Amino acid sequence: MNLAFASTLHLPTGQRVGYETRPVSLAPNASRGLSTQKMFPCLAATATPTTQAAEFVLEEKKHDLLRAIQDTQRGLVATADQRSCIEEALVNVEEYNAGAPIDLGKLDGTWRLQYTSAPDVLVLLESAARFSFFQVGQIFQKFECQKQSKEGIVRNVVRWSIPPLLEEQEGATLLVSAKFSVVSARNIYLQFEEISIQNINISEELQALIAPAILPRSFLSLQILQFIRTFKAEIPVRNQGRRSVGGLYYLSYLDANMLLGRAAAGGIFVFTRAQPLV
């Protein structure tokens, strides 16, 4: 659109001097035109505070959730009132990207478990609390789906130990591996493949018992130590029909540093982003 402006100057003598009329172009592609953002900076800035405010509210709700689960020992000692508050805080976060398709590129990586109500995980935590000789360390979910759009691999990693035979907290690793496929915007189907025990780190006391430092270490003792360190037991996961066990897993929220999930068999999960596992 072109708007023309003309000006006439009246001199004291009564003469008038006319100025040439020059069109001013407001067309977007005009060489002398200004962008809408430069001409009307208030319009361009309107969306930014709104977005920032929404992000601030979301971060507050995420912090509310993390505060709610803080004193529950990953869900082990959560009371009924605490579980109710956690569920409410969880829903407040879930509503922010509910229904949005899963971004596998963002899902890829390692996630540390902060809270769960899933019975199959709580039984491990309960066992560690009941038996002093058994420890459960960090629990992770590792997704391998970079550059994928419909499928990938997920590994549930549990660090555990039996002091004083193994190093505390990370004496060994329980690994549950599964393939997954995306079946809807937010649901993935897990097909479990195997359970393995690996990465055994025996304690210094046990090493000294097998191969005392004050005596020359024999070939046999060194072979025993090497065997323990490289030991790996693998058990395929099958049901009575010899088929892989599977189940639905609903990813209710996902961003760069938080992952929330709901298992079809029951239980909620709260994860935060962790450093890659070696």
> In whole angstroms, how far apart are CA 132 and each of 75, 100, 138, 195, 222?
19, 44, 17, 24, 30
Whether residue 5 is predicted with pLDDT greater than 50 in this model: the reply is no
pLDDT computed for residue 242 by the predictor: 58
Radius of gyration of the chain (CA): 31
Q: Express as a percent the part of the chain with pLDDT over 90.
A: 53
Q: Tokens 């996902």 identify what position?
A: 254
Sequence-distant (6+) residues with CB within 8 A of 268 are 86, 87, 90, 115, 116, 117, 118, 260, 261, 262
Cα 73–Cα 77–Cα 82 angle in degrees, nearest 5: 100
Residue, of 168 and 86, whose pLDDT is higher? 86
Cα 179–Cα 181–Cα 183 angle in degrees, nearest 5: 150
pLDDT computed for residue 23 by the predictor: 43
pLDDT computed for residue 17 by the predictor: 40
pLDDT computed for residue 261 by the predictor: 97
Residue, of 172 and 228, whose pLDDT is higher? 172
Whether residue 167 is predicted with pLDDT greater than 60 in this model: the reply is yes
| Helix%, strand%, coil% for the chain, nearest 5 | 30, 35, 35
Whether residue 207 is predicted with pLDDT greater than 90 in this model: the reply is no
Burial of 186 (C-beta count, 10 Å sphere; 0-12/13-18/19+)? buried
**Residues 200, 166: contact at Cβ < 8 Å?**
yes
Q: Which of 12-21, 54-63, 87-96, 157-166 has the lowest mean pLDDT?
A: 12-21
Whether residue 22 is predicted with pLDDT greater than 50 in this model: the reply is no
